[in-house]
Amino acid sequence: MCGIVGYIGNKNACEVILNGLNKLEYRGYDSSGIALNIDGKIEVYKYKGRIKNLEDRILSLDLNSGCGIGHTRWATHGAPSDRNAHPHTNMDGTIALVHNGIIENFVALKEWLINEHGVEFRSETDTEVIAHLIDHFYNGDLLDAVYKAVGKMKGAYALGVVHCDEPGKIIAVRKDSPLIVGIGKDENFIASDIPALLKYTKDVYLINNDEFVMLTKDEIKIFNENRQEIKREVFHVTWDADAAEKEGFDHFMLKEIYEQPKGIDITLNRRINEKGAINLDGITITKEDLDKINRIYIVACGTAYHAGLIGKYAIEKFAKIPVEVEVASEFRYREPFIDDTTLFIAISQSGETSDTLAALREAKNKGARILTIVNVVGSSVARESDDVFYTWAGPEIAVASTKAFTTQLISVYLIALYMAEVRGTIEKEYYDLVLRELKALPDKVEKILKNAEPVKEIAEIQHEKQHAFFIGRGVDVTVALEASLKLKEISYINSFAIPAGELKHGPIALIEDGTFLTAIATQDHLYDKMLSNIQEVKARGAYVIGVAKESNKLIEHQADKVIYIPDCIDEVTPILSIVPLQLLAYYIAVMRGCDVDKPKNLAKSVTVE
């Protein structure tokens, strides 16, 4: 959501910023803009629509500047339009700024600026308030004015600010919205995320909440909220620019689906030593700590929440500790029972999801120990946790999460097994069996990916449907939820998932001739029950896609088409069965002509509530 890029140095700022904004496209946006400091004047260009729109209008202008800020906007306050796009300026256009976040008290500030200071607003955004506030406090020192303006603001913000009278300077500040600073030679950068900077530098400073940054081309100074300068260690990014490129695939989503064997392998095998013991690098929970824990909450959003549901299954089954799983936006506003006997597990790909972060802080304030499963190294969620388990999926660019999900699943299994071993709640033989089965997964996922043709054929037959159902039992319910989310978010098919046993309690009323229904039947002990459910929906005309283990062939007599996954123990099937269903969603979306990597209305990193 909203991307910020800022540049100061000897290169053409316009080119560097446009390049960075293009790399932040995946975050989701509906307009883009740029402000450049040119010969002591701020020039602003901003347009609704794709970045290409902005490029088409400004690249021919040959704008020559070594200092500027740029933005991709995901509308919150005010519709997507040229006027509401960032950067925003003060009345005489001497100050320009870009903002990621939401200013909660903007209505009161706006009224104050209009009534007391005669300010005329030109947009419907909350952000414009900040430009006028900084102007109000400006007295020849931009950093000072930003400090004073921020003192009046409530909400979440990452800001990049320039002033025409201070052409060699960018001021940035962060609270609850992501911000990093890129370190160059004779040049420096700000950005919302690492891919924006990879072409130019791999050395960054991670900026914390309530920190202010002053950048010139030769130096970077970081200050705390009391205006004291602070030192920060350089964070060196280990992945390169290629990791954020499509590398011959038509879409990032397809590339990321095909990267799953590698992601699973790295997430898993680097945590298992030669003796077969699990070593959870960033986690320091001991037996004594675990003995104290009475309750575990797993909290996350969307796909990560689905990984949490499998986490509950694995922890309860192996480690015998009760687990509650909840979506973060609900958890943060109720009064869950939390104290120092609670373990709070947050799961997040980006590590910047606003609701997950708020829920984490709530739990931390009440004394819970915080463990996170997160993909982005150095992200806010990672930094605010006691223990961090990185998923090592590599950068995930497509909005629809795929490889982050399967590596999150591996993570919850490893954590559950580790807890079980430490607590002595698992037999050695069973522990070894599960671990062996997990280790076999990369090859099995590879096998599914090499045999994508049948999935493509199903997509051919079903892609024009307007509705879809997914059913399952046991862990397959979670796979149904995740497969349904994947399909709806990228193909816009109205899709929903239910436990197969619930069909008769209402949803079966919707089944009619040709209804597109996927029945996930991978659990041996529930297989017969699933076959009965398939018969029930077939009898009412549904077109059924079955998903089953390859040695369970009986399903062929019931379903219209069957997608097989390699045989494995029931406990680990979700990591296999979700893969063909990700592919199914992908092919259907492509056949429907959808923008697979950037579905409408969605953002990769949901940094506002």
| Cα 445 to Cα 577: distance, rounded to the nearest angstrom | 9
CA distances from 360 to 182, 309, 322, 339, 420 (A): 28, 17, 19, 13, 24
Candidate residues 516, 606, 607, 608; the one interacting with ligand F6R per rule CB under 6 A: 606
Q: Taking the complex as a whole, how short is the minimal distance between the CB of residue 367 and ligand F6R, in angstroms?
A: 24
Is 594 one of the catalytic residues? no
End-to-end Cα distance, the chain = 11
Q: Taking the complex as a whole, how short is the minimal distance between the CB of residue 178 and ligand F6R, in angstroms?
A: 11
Is 14 one of the catalytic residues? no
Binding positions for ligand F6R, 282-341, rule CB under 6 A: 301-304
Q: Give 243 or 510: the residue with its C-beta nearer to ligand F6R.
A: 243
Whether the Cβ atoms of residue 448 and residue 495 lie closer than 8 Å to each other: no
| Cα 67 to Cα 419: distance, rounded to the nearest angstrom | 52
Binding of ligand F6R by 401 (CB under 6 A): yes
User: Which residues, listed in sequence order, are joined to residue 96 by a DSSP beta bridge?
Assistant: 89, 162
DSSP state of 85: S
Q: Taking the complex as a whole, how short is the minimal distance between the CB of residue 3 and ligand F6R, in angstroms?
A: 15
Q: Give 161 or 583: the residue with its C-beta nearer to ligand F6R.
A: 583
User: Considering 2, 164, 301, 568, which one is annotated as catalytic?
Assistant: 2
Which residue's CB comes closest to ligand F6R? 302
Query: E strands, 164-313, where?
Result: 170-175, 180-183, 187-191, 203-206, 211-215, 220-223, 229-230, 235-236, 295-300
Candidate residues 400, 445, 483, 596; the one interacting with ligand F6R per rule CB under 6 A: 400
Q: Give 94 or 349: the residue with its C-beta nearer to ligand F6R.
A: 349
- Amino acid identity for residue 238 in this structure: T
Q: Give 123 or 582: the residue with its C-beta nearer to ligand F6R.
A: 582
Lookup: tokens for 467: 């509705």
Q: Taking the complex as a whole, how short is the minimal distance between the CB of residue 308 and ligand F6R, in angstroms?
A: 10
Q: Taking the complex as a whole, how short is the minimal distance between the CB of residue 282 and ligand F6R, in angstroms?
A: 18
Question: Which among 314, 267, 310 has a CA at the least distance from the CA of 480?
Answer: 310
Residue-wise DSSP of 201-213? -SEEEEPPTTEEE
R_g of the chain, CA atoms, integer Å: 26
| Cα 155 to Cα 49: distance, rounded to the nearest angstrom | 26
- Contact mark string toward ligand F6R, 462..501, x via CB under 6 A: -----------------------x---x------------
Judged by CB under 6 A, how many residues of this single chain contact ligand F6R? 15
Binding positions for ligand F6R, 340-399, rule CB under 6 A: 348-350, 353, 356
Q: Taking the complex as a whole, how short is the minimal distance between the CB of residue 166 and ligand F6R, in angstroms?
A: 36
Q: Is 210 exposed, middle or buried (0-12, 13-18, 19+ CB in 10 A)?
A: middle
Query: E strands, 237-311, where?
Result: 295-300
Q: Give 149 or 400: the residue with its C-beta nearer to ligand F6R.
A: 400
- Contact mark string toward ligand F6R, 210..249, x via CB under 6 A: ----------------------------------------
Q: Give 135 or 362: the residue with its C-beta nearer to ligand F6R.
A: 362
- Footprint on this chain of ligand F6R (rule: CB under 6 A): 301-304, 348-350, 353, 356, 400-401, 485, 489, 605-606
Active-site residue set: 2, 604
